[in-house]
């Protein structure tokens, strides 16, 4: 399996808003397989199409410890139903940067499976956080956008000085 290159901040393609998937074909299934392989290879718990220069609304997630619980969501929509919690996030498109982000600890997800069937699920904890992070990517939003402008400025300055350190 060939891994997909992951776009790195500040690449402007990370700011593109992904469009709705209309065709549930073999090409889409292959793209999801490649994204899962790329996510596992990078030791990530999620990956959005946007991060691999695929600007359709497709995300993959696996928050299981055993790394055998892949979830593929097409055209995901989320409804925040939980309490706001602060948790540490990282991003495969911003290596070496971690910070605390406030998000809902419980969400309802409406999406399509890779075969186009309807999928409804409730998620909590790390899965809920990760799906929100990935859905942000589909809208061109990075987790650092949720930080104060001062923190973001410091992160961007650090990345300019020594990317990936
Ligand atoms: O979308 C991505 O860039 C993947 C990202 C997902 C994510 C991590 C943490 C919180 C929300 C979403 C990663 O997988 S970063 C690497 C990672 O495995 C990780 C980092 C911090 C906490 C847990 C996992
Ligand atoms: Zn990310």
Pocket test for ligand 1, best of 43, 86, 90 (most atoms within 8 A of CB): 90
- Note the pLDDT tens digit of each residue in 75-101: 999 999 999 999 999 999 999 999 999
- Spacing, Cα 80 to ligand 2 middle (Å): 19
- Note the pLDDT tens digit of each residue in 1-57: 889 999 999 999 999 999 999 999 999 999 999 999 999 999 999 999 999 999 999
Cβ-based neighbours of 128, under 8 Å, separated by 6 or more? 82, 103, 104, 105, 106, 107
Cβ-based neighbours of 138, under 8 Å, separated by 6 or more? 17, 18, 48, 49, 50, 57, 59, 76
88 is catalytic: no
Task: Inform me whether the pLDDT recorded for 165 exceeds 70.
Answer: no
Ligand 1 pocket, 128 CB below 6 A?
no
Q: What is the pLDDT of residue 45?
A: 98
Q: What is the pLDDT of residue 102?
A: 98
């Amino acid at each position: 399996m060939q891994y997909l290159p992951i776009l790195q901040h500040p690449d402007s393609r990370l700011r593109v808003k992904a469009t709705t998937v209309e065709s549930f074909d073999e090409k889409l299934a292959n793209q999801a397989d490649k994204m899962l392989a790329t996510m596992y290879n990078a030791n990530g718990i999620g990956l959005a199409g946007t991060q691999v220069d695929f600007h359709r609304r497709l995300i993959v997630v696996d928050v299981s410890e055993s790394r055998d619980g892949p979830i593929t969501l097409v055209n995901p929509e989320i409804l925040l139903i939980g309490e706001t919690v602060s948790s540490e996030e990282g991003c495969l498109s911003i290596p070496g940067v971690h910070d605390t982000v406030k998000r809902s600890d419980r969400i309802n997800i409406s999406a399509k499976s890779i075969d186009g069937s309807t999928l409804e699920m409730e998620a909590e904890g790390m899965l809920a956080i990760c799906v929100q992070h990935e859905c942000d990517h589909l809208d061109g939003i990075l987790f650092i956008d949720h930080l104060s402008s001062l923190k973001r400025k410091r992160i961007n300055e650090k990345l300019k000085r020594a990317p990936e350190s």
